[in-house]
Structure 1
Amino acid sequence: MDLVTIATFSNYLQAGPFKSKLENEGVACFLMDEHTSTIAPHMEAAIGGIKLQVSKNDFTKARKILQDIGYTFDDEYELPVFWKHFDNLTRTLPVLGKKSIFLRFLILLITFALSAISTLVYVNQPATKDMLTERDWCINSFTHQGKELHPYSTGVKLILNNGQNCIEKIRLGIEGYAEFPGFNTFAVNGRWHLDIEKDSIFVSGIDTFQDLYEGWYDFELNDQHLILTSKNVTIYCTREKDIQLPF
């Protein structure tokens, strides 16, 4: 039988209970240098104490038994309560649970930190609908199936000499009202709806130029620019500036 030392004790009083426990569990074990340590205690340091030995085949089983009754091996250390709880909570996680406890903690810490940062960035950004409806959008370019058009709405307009306001514009009201420019006609009225899941705008109920304006629009949006693209038209816009009246 190939024997290996599984634990070391200063005297028999320490070793005895562990030896008895292993034997009760059906693990054959032996105490090496038991008598030398008892008869000549001054030799204890030289011989390295009493050695509890088991068969190589029983080593894993014996180690588990000793751990269960409180023996701490040299390659172990007592985890603080926090780490014990953390280990119990994360050791069964897929993939992650197979990694060391400290690597698990580091991965989860980084993941939570990135999630928190992303959430803060998202919360601090203006909502898409607010950005679309906060002000009107001045039309810079209007293209219909590759051909540039020049909308012109008739009716009363406020035109400032300093060019602060836009001549033709799109208005997306917060309650779903929409206004688009006409073509030698009054402005065109209708309804609009923002579909967050599709990241698109749907325009309907247009009173004139239905074929031109109605339908789904993809859009690109930032604080100053808006691009609307449907199957018929592409409209490039900039946000209307605050109007400073000269009086």
Structure 2
Amino acid sequence: NFAAMGMSYALFPTLCAGERTAGEVVELARRWMIPPLAHQCRVAWVQPGIRDDLLREHVDPEVPTVLYPSIHLNDNKQPKVFLDIVSEVAEHMPLQMEARLGQRDLASVLAMKMSSPTWAQVGPLFGEREEYWEALARTTAFLATAKDEAYGFEYMEALLAGVVGVLPRAKWSSDIVPETYPYLYDNSRHAVALLEEVLTDPKAARAKIDESAGGPISEWILGHHRRSGGNEAIANQISDWFPEISAD
């Protein structure tokens, strides 16, 4: 119900995880609300940051594993592009593909198609955060195919856990990796080549990534996206909106 959402955004302050999401909230309020209400819309955004307290030691599996780094199969994530690229790589070398999807996406026709290859495993979301981080610790690489992202939690958490990321060369990806990150692709053919390189020698791939970060990529990510910084930004924004709370 977009009208109800627009009214909520207009009547109550909205704090978003990322600039793109904030823009979408403002646009929705303007589209569905009368101008007096839309103009009083209070929207801000922060980079929430990620946590590192559940990290596990990374161990590469015997058969390299590629992660579908989203819980959704919508058009923005381009799951068909992901499947095409991974399928081509699978013709040249052994691999496993894993995807963990939300309930609605898991019951879709596309999820059934994604799970049909013998090398594919598609299942529900993990019940516990610990299971999620343990799975990342046994994953070789992820392939991102999204057209756009508001923030990119999944990608940063995977990189932090030692998973090698192959990402599109785009504005959103440049915000979450070092400027000279070596595994940014320009087209599907390039993505196939990079993914093959990563799966063939993941240790060498991690060394290249660390070199681009000027040290361990985990330190770079935490330096730019630590949860404590996000918590401080959230507290500051709430204080700005509700100074009476800070005064108390």
- For normalisation by structure 1, the TM-score amounts to 0.21
The structure richer in strand per residue is 1
Which has the greater radius of gyration? Answer: 1
- For normalisation by structure 2, the TM-score amounts to 0.21
Higher relative contact order (CA 8 A, sep 6+): 2
